[in-house]
Amino acid sequence: MAFPYMEAVVGFMILMYIFETYLDKRQHAALKLPTLPKPLEGLISQEKFEKSRAYSLDKSHFHFVHEFVTILMDSAILFYGVLPWFWKKSGEFVVLVGLNAENEILHTLAFLAGVMIWSQITDLPFSLYSTFVIEARHGFNKQTIWLFFRDLFKGICLAVILGPPIVSAIIFIVQKGGPYLAIYLWGFMFVLSIVMMTVYPILIAPLFNKFTPLPEGVLRHKIEELASSLKFPLKKLFVVDGSTRSSHSNAYMYGFFKNKRIVLYDTLIQQCKNDEEIVAVIAHELGHWKLNHTMYSFIAVQILTFLQFGGYTLVRNSSDLFRSFGFDTQPVLIGLIIFQHTVIPLQHLVSFALNLVSRSFEFQADGFAKKLGYSSSLRAGLVKLQEENLSAMNTDPWYSAYHYSHPPLVERLAALDEQDKKED
Residue 270 contacts residue 376 (beta carbons within 8 Å)? no
| Residues 138/246, Cβ–Cβ less than 8 Å | no
Alpha-carbon distance 266 to 263, whole Å? 9
The verdict on whether 366 is a catalytic residue reads yes
For the annotated binding site, the residues are: 284, 288, 362
Instruction: Report, in angstroms and rounded to the nearest whole number, the Rg of the chain calculated over CA atoms.
Output: 24
SS3 state of residue 396? coil
Give the active site residue among 366, 387, 396, 411.
Answer: 366
Q: Which of 285, 387, 396, 411 is catalytic?
A: 285
Contact 373, 418 (CB under 8 A): no
Cα angle 134, 386, 367 (rounded to 5 degrees) comes to: 145
Q: How many CB atoms lie within 10 A of CB 171?
A: 20
CA separation for the pair 254, 196 (Å, rounded): 12
Residue ranges at the known binding site for Zn(2+): 284, 288, 362
Chain mean position to CA 59: 17
| DSSP codes, 192-254 | HHHHHHHHIIIIIHHHHS-EEEPPSSHHHHHHHHHHHHTT--EEEEEEE-GGGTBS---EEEE
41 has catalytic annotation: no
Q: Which residues are known to be catalytic?
A: 285, 366
